[in-house]
Amino acid sequence: MSALSDQVVSIATLVYLLAMISHAVEYALGNVRARAVAAPARELVGAAASPGGAAGGALGGGVAAGGAVATEVPSRAERTARRAEWAGRIAVGLTVLGAALHLAGLVTRGLAADRMPWGNMYEFVLTVSFIGVAAWLVVLVKWPFLRRLGLFLTLVMVLLVATAELVLYTPIVPLVPALNSYWFIVHVSTIVFASGLFLLGVVPAVAYLMRAGYEDGKRSFPYTLARRLPAAAGLERLTFVLHAFSFPIFTFAVIAGAIWAEAAWGRPWGWDPKETWAFISWVVYAGYLHARATPSVKRNVAAWLAILGFLTVLMNLFGVNIFFEGLHSYGGL
């Protein structure tokens, strides 16, 4: 079962890679659909939701479109647009497949270990990234026009899962006694869940910064990538929605950790490196929410804070286990 899990995870990584390539193809072919820069987000939903209208309506501008499609030989632009559309759908299909395999890898790992698959860093990163991709699919169902963000998301997935496999891999062992508690499940599952959402939240935050720069007329390197992204305002909102959702979960997770630490180590809070970095993340994300609620603070600053917040989460996930020695014994590297 353990070997099966390892294989399934390897295949999942490959599938994510293919999804990423497919997204990249969509990006490169780039139909003109995302042209509607200032159009409200929901109108984009309408356009994306009707497949036929997608290509036609999108072409609007210079190219003959609409009813002409049926009678005339499709123009080159149209064909390209259609190919891009297909590449995008294949990418999403592959992402779904990758996520299913990813989940299967986790389940088999859990079955093999006879416990929740959150016992060491390898399993932890694998679970966090799964939550990220699952939440992404939910977002995609709700707001399909965000599909192009999939390029960034699959890139992050490939990087994370591959790192987990190549660097962090650990054979299955049961939990040390300190982890043998139902608070383990409560604390770790919520931390994992919140981290997965933070991971997903950083994608629109980065995309927003690029897109906002593009909309401001910047045409140098990273901004040009944003040419085909959804409008900045929508990305910014999505960033906020994801963070507003995960911040209370993260807060709860930290509190659950404190309750557990009281039972296991006799103190709810002891400034162990993991606790310290959780505190840092919490404060940075509180800063993000404050920055966003303060009209005089630019939205760019808020987005940077969200990214900084995720860097601190990563620091806690990788850095603290590798560099520091603490009571959190699941480092397992």
Partner 1 sequence: MTAVDDRPTAPADAPRRRPNPLLALLRNSWRQLTSMRTALVLLFLLAVAAIPGSVLPQRGVNPEDVRDFFTAHPDLAPLLDRVGAFEAFSSAWFSAIYLLLFTSLIGCITPRLRDHVRALRARPPAVPKRLERLPQHAVVPAPDGGAAAVAETLRRRRWRVAVRGDEISAEKGYLKETGNLIFHSSMLVVLVAVALGSWYGWHGNRLLVAGEDQVFCNTRQQYAEAKLGPRVDDDLPRFCMQLDEFDARFLETGQPAFYNAKVTVDSDGGPPRPAEFSVNSPLRLDGANVYLLGHGYAPVIRYTDRFGRSQTSAVPFLSTGDVGLSSEGLAAFPDANVDPDTGERDPDLQVAFSGLYLPTAPQEPPFVRSEHPTERNPLLDLVAYRGNLGLDAGIPGSVYQLDQRQVSNGRLTEIGAKQLRTGESWTLDDGTKVEFLGTRPFITLSVRHDPGTTLLLVSSIGLVLGLMGSLFVRRRRIFVRVLPPGSGAPDSGSPTGGSSLVEVAGLPRTEHPGFAAEFAQLVAAIGAGGRPGDAGTDPGTPAGAREGAE
List residues binding partner 1 (CB under 8 A): 40-43, 46, 173-174, 176-178, 180-181, 183, 234, 237, 244, 247-248, 251-252, 255, 258-260, 262-273, 276-277, 279-280, 283-284, 286-287, 289-291, 293-297, 312, 320, 324-326
Q: Which residues contact 330 (CB under 8 A, 6 or more apart)?
A: 118, 119, 120, 121, 124, 176, 179, 321
> What are 40's two structure tokens?
């409200």
**Residue 17 or 168: which CB sits closer to partner 1?**
168
**Helices and strands: H and E segment counts in the chain:** 13, 0
**Residue 151 or 313: which CB sits closer to ligand HEM?**
313
**Residue 267 or 290: which CB sits closer to ligand HEM?**
290
Smallest distance, partner 1 to C-beta of residue 119, A: 11
Stretch that binds ligand HEM, among 68-76, 174-182, 203-211, 289-297 (CB under 6 A): 289-297
Per partner kind, with CB cut-offs from 5 to 8 A, the member of ligand HEM, partner 1, none near residue 264 is partner 1
Q: Do residues 140 and 147 lie in contact, with contact meaning Cβ atoms separated by under 8 Å?
A: yes
Rule CB under 6 A: say whether 280 interacts with ligand HEM. Answer: no
**Residue 79 or 267: which CB sits closer to partner 1?**
267
**Residue 95 or 321: which CB sits closer to partner 1?**
321
Report the distance separating Cα 220 and Cα 209, nearest Å.
Answer: 13
Report the distance separating Cα 30 and Cα 148, nearest Å.
Answer: 10
Per partner kind, with CB cut-offs from 5 to 8 A, the member of ligand HEM, partner 1, none near residue 258 is partner 1
Residue tagged 């072409």 (tokens): 59
Per partner kind, with CB cut-offs from 5 to 8 A, the member of ligand HEM, partner 1, none near residue 266 is partner 1
Q: Which of 42, 267, 290, 298 binds ligand HEM (CB under 6 A)?
A: 290
Rule CB under 6 A: say whether 173 interacts with ligand HEM. Answer: no
Report the distance separating Cα 188 and Cα 132, nearest Å.
Answer: 15
Rule CB under 6 A: say whether 286 interacts with ligand HEM. Answer: yes
Smallest distance, partner 1 to C-beta of residue 1, A: 18
Per-residue buried b or exposed e for 65-85, using 16+ beta carbons within 10 Å of the residue's own CB: beeebeeeeeeebbebbbebb
Q: Which residues contact 182 (CB under 8 A, 6 or more apart)?
A: none
Smallest distance, partner 1 to C-beta of residue 50, A: 13
**Closest CB to ligand HEM belongs to which residue?**
293
Rule CB under 6 A: say whether 225 interacts with ligand HEM. Answer: no
**Residue 145 or 198: which CB sits closer to ligand HEM?**
198
CA 161 to chain CA mean position, Å: 12
DSSP letter string over 56-105?
A: HHHHTTTS--TTHHHHSPPPHHHHHHHHHHHHHHHHHHHHHHHHHHHHHH
Rule CB under 6 A: say whether 63 interacts with ligand HEM. Answer: no
Q: Do residues 136 and 204 lie in contact, with contact meaning Cβ atoms separated by under 8 Å?
A: no
Q: Do residues 133 and 95 lie in contact, with contact meaning Cβ atoms separated by under 8 Å?
A: yes
DSSP letter string over 211-229?
A: HHHHHTT--SHHHHGGGGS
Q: Which of 289, 297, 307, 315 binds ligand HEM (CB under 6 A)?
A: 289
Rule CB under 6 A: say whether 293 interacts with ligand HEM. Answer: yes
Smallest distance, partner 1 to C-beta of residue 31, A: 21
Backbone angles phi, psi at 79, to 5 degrees: -65, -45
- In the complex, the residues that contact ligand HEM under the rule CB under 6 A are 286, 289-290, 293
